């Protein structure tokens, strides 16, 4: 199972909890140092492999699932958890670079990795694609316009994908966490 954003916060906790349950994890993060820290905390080191990954880099994302499948011998899913918030400023004050960064990580990272994973999945009853949205994708927060838009896009993308794979062995879920101290 691929987990993005595994170097800290929810991604780290997901990784640690899943390994405690005996799940093989391909832990991914842009920060090699925090990713190594996550790996040092696992209860069963034989169940984890780490991959430095920038989810905003389409070439890295496209190559990852095949590499994971080669390393583990199978691929049964992904938790698209990596994400960032924007600076707490009004939309008009955001630079185009910041807007692109939020959308590239929070939305296009999910879309591109999901596409790449779908090409390599070993469909069985345990195959799952989990996309982390946010309560910010439901309710507008002043000063977080682009973050909210990116997470709303994840919600709608995931719901459409769910409809497209219904009747197959691939399960699709979207998760809406509230504020988390990460």
> What residues are labeled active site?
147
Distance CA 34, CA 136 (A): 26
Token pair for residue 59?
A: 């070439």
DSSP-derived 3-state class of residue 117: helix
As a whole number of angstroms, the distance between CA 25 and CA 173 comes to 18
Task: Name the strand (E) or helix (H) holding 19.
Answer: helix 9-20
> How far, in Å, CA of 75 to CA of 88, rounded?
38
**Dist CA 127 CA 121 (whole Å):** 8
Question: Would you say 34 and 7 are in contact if contact means Cβ atoms under 8 Å apart?
Answer: yes
């Amino acid at each position: 199972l691929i987990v993005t954003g595994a170097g800290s916060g929810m991604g780290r906790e997901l990784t640690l909890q899943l390994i405690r349950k005996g799940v093989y994890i391909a832990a991914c993060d842009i920060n090699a140092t925090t990713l190594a820290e996550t790996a040092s905390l696992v209860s069963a080191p034989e169940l984890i492999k780490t991959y430095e990954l920038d989810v905003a880099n389409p070439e890295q994302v496209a190559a990852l699932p095949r590499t994971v499948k080669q390393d583990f011998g199978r691929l049964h899913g992904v938790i698209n958890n990596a994400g960032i918030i924007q600076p707490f400023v009004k939309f008009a004050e955001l630079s185009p670079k910041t807007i692109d960064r939020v959308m590239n990580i929070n939305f296009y990272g999910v879309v591109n990795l999901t596409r790449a994973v779908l090409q390599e999945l070993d469909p069985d009853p345990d195959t799952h694609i989990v996309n982390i949205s946010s309560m910010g994708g439901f309710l507008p927060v002043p000063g977080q316009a682009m973050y909210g838009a990116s997470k709303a896009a994840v919600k709608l993308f995931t719901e459409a994908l769910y409809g497209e794979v219904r009747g197959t062995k691939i399960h699709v879920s979207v998760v809406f966490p509230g504020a988390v101290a990460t």
